[in-house]
Amino acid sequence: MTAFTQAATFFAARWAEQMVDTVTIREANTAATRGTFSELTGEYTGATPTTIYTGPAQVHPMNRQASAVALGEERANLQTFAVRIPVAETGPKVGHEITVDACPGDAALVGLVLEVAAVDLSTHATRRELVAVLKQARSL
């Protein structure tokens, strides 16, 4: 084992110790994963998105305020989060949905639904960092 490999293994273990939150990452919500729409109930039934990852994570906002962005002629507030998961997890992709299942440090994060906007890839990665945008706040 090279010195670099030893260092990467050491730092990956340190990052893993800091992952005290729990998240679930699923395929993007597309027509194929929604199932069939029922006119009677007004809901989709049947197919469910495939779970890509469930486990430890570290979730935190990337900026303290939402950024105002233009969407066509409309303006919207965009809030971004960094979601760190173990480096061995290679399944998450842009468009996948992240649900925060548990967060011992901040219960207000539980129930947030985020959408993966970017996946940090690196030769020397010690954790997998996902940049995600707030898709849906938890209901109060």
* d(C-alpha 67, C-alpha 87), whole Å: 29
Say how many domains are in the chain: 1
Q: What is the CATH number for 14?
A: 2.40.10.270
pTM: 0.74
Domain that holds residue 87: 3-136
Band of pLDDT at residue 110, cut at 50, 70 and 90: very high
Q: What is the per-residue pLDDT across 11-43, written as a single tens digit (0 to 9) for each?
A: 666 766 778 999 999 987 666 666 777 788 777
How far is CA 69 from each of CA 79, 81, 95, 130, rounded to the nearest angstrom?
10, 16, 19, 20
